[in-house]
Structure 1
Amino acid sequence: MVTLAKERRYLPLRSTRYLGRTMQRYYLLTRYQRLWGRPLKRPLAWVTSGAPVEILRALRIDPVYPENYGAICGARRVAPELCRAAEAAGYSPDLCSYARAGIGAILRPDLAPMGGLPRPDLLVTCNNICGTVLKWYEALARRFNVPLFILDTPFVTGELKQHTVDYVLEQLRGLVGGLERLTGRRLKPADLQKCISLSNEAVRLWGEIRNLCRHRPSPLNTPDLFVHMAPIVVLRGTAGAVAYYRRLYDEVKERVRAGQAAVAGERYRLLWDNIAIWYQLFRFYHLFSERGACFVTDTYTGGWAAGLAPGDPLESLARTYTAIFLNRSVDFRVRQMVDLIRDYEVDGFVMHSNRSCKPYSLVQEEIRRRVMNETGVPGLLVEADMTDARVYAEEPVRNRVQAFLETLEMTV
């Protein structure tokens, strides 16, 4: 990031320093709360990113996110070694690199950032993001010998039907009952409503921050969104997340008022599709920013910008967590991208064909074709992996990016 700032192409955020302290405090609290004599009062849960964490927080269960930790492993460039450790233990190289890196961190904590994640007391997984998490968490449950709670959300092919909501709602009631038995506590409606209200406020702020990127020039580049999405995931349902996004919103709003651009001399406005290439986060996007191209929006970080509807709290959770975009049809995802292109006045889009995330990536070519036909803007498909740098071919990627940018120069 420092290199890019020196080249006057990329403007870093002051809030990044505060983000570092926020995330450091979060990981310290989850790691060392046991040393304070409270292991039974505040159990620790490993949770998938699409699980209804508000229920856990209301029951004073501390959540930890192995997927977020996988992103940290990727950004720190240790994921390949951790993946090798998992592969040496018999896990297939074709598995999600978040799963392999997470398992590798258990097997080789000496290689893992922060020595790996603290041991869980329970596991909670939801298949609204992918099916791999089910087998991943089953493997974790066997390794740690702890309870595993599974939430099954049917794939939504069209509009979300009431019978689907009822099916998920019944499972949420079962989840609540199981967690109450495990913790010896009752879920208080007021506590759950408080967590939901805090989630909604953080989501509202996050959505407004993303919306500020509609301005010309955009005050943020998508790498900013990827970095600063961490609290909306790991601190969802807390006052800490709300405080953080108020600070970030104020800084981004200040940029808009001052006409400050995330990418100096913004010429092209782009959309990003899929998870970040964590080990190449700023280096990869510099290929674009050095030519005045800014990623003003994306499909991934917006997945955490969906608020919970008013009404019965559990039914609201059932609707929201079932209808996230990765659990929706190709038609939905095409419409999502077309709307983003029009709302943010996008000149082109780049899709990360992510070797690890198959639900996200397998249909991208069809989506690319349909979005290009409907909008007339060019789209580029780049093959990589979110954390496993072994599959990243820098020169071919650079050549394809350069060809894409030359196409933009001729069409914009």
Structure 2
Amino acid sequence: MGQERRYKQLASTTQLKKLITKYYALSRYHRLWGRPLKRPLAWVTSGAPVELLRAFKIHPVYPEQYAALCSTGKATLGLCRAAEAAGYSPDLCSYATSSIGTLLKPDLAPMQGLPKPDLVVACNNICGTVLKWYEALARSYQVPLVVIDTPFLTGDMTDHAQEYVLEQFKDFILQMEKLTGRKFNPGELAAISDLSNEVVGLWKEIRGLCQAKPSPLNGPDLFIHMAPIVVLRGTREAVGYYKLLKDEVKQRAERGESAIEEEKIRLVWDNIAIWSNLFKFFKMFSERGACFVTDTYTGGWSMEIAPGDPLESLAATYTEVFLNRSPEFRTRQIVDLIKEFKADGFVMHSNRSCKPYSLVQEVIRKRVMQETGVPGLMVEADMADPRAFAEEPIRNRVQAFLETLSV
């Protein structure tokens, strides 16, 4: 059956496209908002404390999200080759190499690449690659680089770890006061944090609605509609969008409307999407009645900021990002999702680019299968680079896996 019959696009997608188009337009022309450096633009990692940036009227742009956009737009291969020709290794993260490729060959990139930053901000709670990647960006653009170091959590959050990150946030504030000419306003940070929490609450509700049988959303829906919680976290625009999306998803759930044509198998996804072949890959499952009812990746932005001092709470929140946690934590995360969403199995994307996400997956897979009794499939590919996607071997493994789950 054709993909068109299997994938039921949400009506909210039209509004999503308008919202993201506006975001990139504002990013491109941010300097027209006021005189230069009145509203600086920062390139930031996806795990950076964006609420602090917004408190200083700094506009955040996310090279990782843009790299995903490059991949869905089939631009990644040319961009990676441009970076590799300049001496960057093909074994590096494809987000990083394609990002650097946009600097070297902007004509190959959507929108001619991202606008020049006034500073770059890297937080290593997602991986260590961002440190060298953002060093290269700062060197190329000759702009300041701010690095926030979060200690890896082998267990629960500790007072020492929180204090360590908090002191870096305080130093960051001093740097931003000097850069922007604005004084730090704790009340404004608290208000932005409240908006982030509202967005997070709505996103959690939307994801939770997929516990319904059949699920009103499939994996591609979650990956596509996560965009605002990444690039517009802490804004009223994101709140408004997720209210709209929640209403539509809730209506689907109440009508018993399935995200795919006929849900027979419920699955959990682990790791970043295969952006270069998003619909082709998920069609391998949906055409056999398999729906991805939840995942670990899009839930990674469901980070609530605890009540109390907003700066202290942010220090804990951004240190506890799930990729900064132990294999035991991540095992429990998948086990809980399988139980809560009544999944029949799970699929792990062994992502060539994202080592922190992928290297311990086999250990986690065995533990999850042992604890839940459901099977888990490992698929090898890459989040952005199409060269790592071998369609026929992947299709064969998917079909064999689904046959074990067929009733």
Please tell me the TM-score bracket, short chain as reference.
over 0.9
Q: Which of 383, 398, 401 pairs up with 1:386? A: 383
1:202-221 matches, within 5 Å, as: 202-221=199-218
How does the TM-score come out when normalised to structure 2? 0.99
**Does 1:294 find its partner at 2:291?**
yes
SS in 1 for 2:122: strand
Question: Where does structure 1 differ by over 6 angstroms across 4 or more consecutive aligned residues?
Answer: none
Are 2:277 and 1:280 aligned? Answer: yes
Determine the C-alpha separation between the residues in 2 that align with 1:218 and 1:306: 23
What secondary structure sits across from 1:237 in the alignment? coil
Q: Which residue of 137, 156, 164 corresponds with 2:153? A: 156
1:267 corresponding residue in structure 2:
264
1:119 to 110, 116, 121: 116
1:350 aligns to 2:353 (yes or no): no
Question: In the alignment, what sits opposite 1:399?
Answer: 396
CA separation of 1:320 and 1:36: change in aligned 2, threshold 3 A? closer
* Post-superposition offset of 1:264: 1.9
What is the deviation of 1:36? 5.0
Aligned counterpart in structure 1 of residue 233 of structure 2, from 226, 230, 236 = 236
1:316 correspondence with 2:313: yes
Distance 2:391 2:280 in 1: 10
Structure 1 position 188 matched with structure 2 position 185: yes
- Report the secondary structure of 1:157's partner residue: coil
CA–CA separation in structure 1 for the residues paired with 2:92 and 2:35 = 36
Deviations 1:103-123 (A, max 9, x none): 001110100000000000001
Deviation at 1:3, TM superposition (A): 5.3
Contact 2:122 2:146 in 1 (8 A): yes
Q: Structure 2 CA distance, aligned partners of 1:25 and 1:56? A: 19
Q: CA deviation at 1:260?
A: 0.6
Aligned-residue offset at 1:35: 3.9
Candidates 98, 101, 118, aligned match of 1:101: 98
* Residue 11 of structure 2: aligned partner: 14
Rounded to whole Å, the distance in 2 between the matches of 1:384 and 1:108 is: 25
Residue 306 (structure 1) shift: 1.6
What amino acid does structure 1 have at the position aligned with 2:159? Answer: Q
Assess, with a 3 A threshold, how the Cα gap between structure 1 residues 268 and 176 changes in structure 2: closer, same or farther.
same
Does the CA-based 8 Å contact 2:260-2:291 persist in structure 1?
Answer: yes
* 1:251 maps to 2:248: yes
Deviation (angstroms), 1:39: 2.3
Per-residue CA deviations over 1:51-84 (Å, capped at 9, x if unaligned) read 0000110110000000000000111111011000
2:78 alignment partner in structure 1: 81
Are 1:125 and 1:134, in contact at CA under 8 Å, matched by a contact in 2?
Answer: yes
Q: Would you say how many aligned residue pairs link Structure 1 and Structure 2?
A: 407
1:38 positional shift? 2.9
Aligned pair partner of 1:341 in 330, 338, 341: 338
Runs of at least 5 residues in structure 1 that lack an aligned partner in the other structure: none
**Alpha-carbon deviation of 1:10?**
2.2
Distance 2:388 2:249 in 1: 35
In 2, distance between residues paired with 1:207 and 1:44?
29
Letter in 1 for 2:351: N
Contact 2:12/2:245 (<8 A) preserved: yes
Distance 1:100 1:268 in 2: 37
Over residues 336-389 of structure 1, what are the superposed CA-to-partner deviations in whole Å (9 max), with x where a residue is unaligned?
000000000000100000000000000011111110011010100000000100
TM-score (norm 1): 0.97
SS at 1:254's partner residue?
A: helix
Amino acid at match of 1:403: A
- Do the aligned partners of 2:265 and 2:291 also contact (CA within 8 Å) in 1? yes
Map Cα deviations across residues 246-269 of structure 1 (whole Å, 9 max, x no partner): 000000001011111001211000
Measured after TM superposition, the shift of residue 21 of structure 1 is 0.5
Cα distance in 1 for partners of 2:77, 2:86 equals: 14
- Give the alignment partner of residue 47 of structure 2, picking from 45, 50, 71: 50
Partners of 2:49 and 2:392 lie apart in 1 by 41
Q: Deviations over 1:26-64 (max 9, x none)?
A: 000010122455322100000000000001101100000
- Match of 1:212, as an amino acid? L
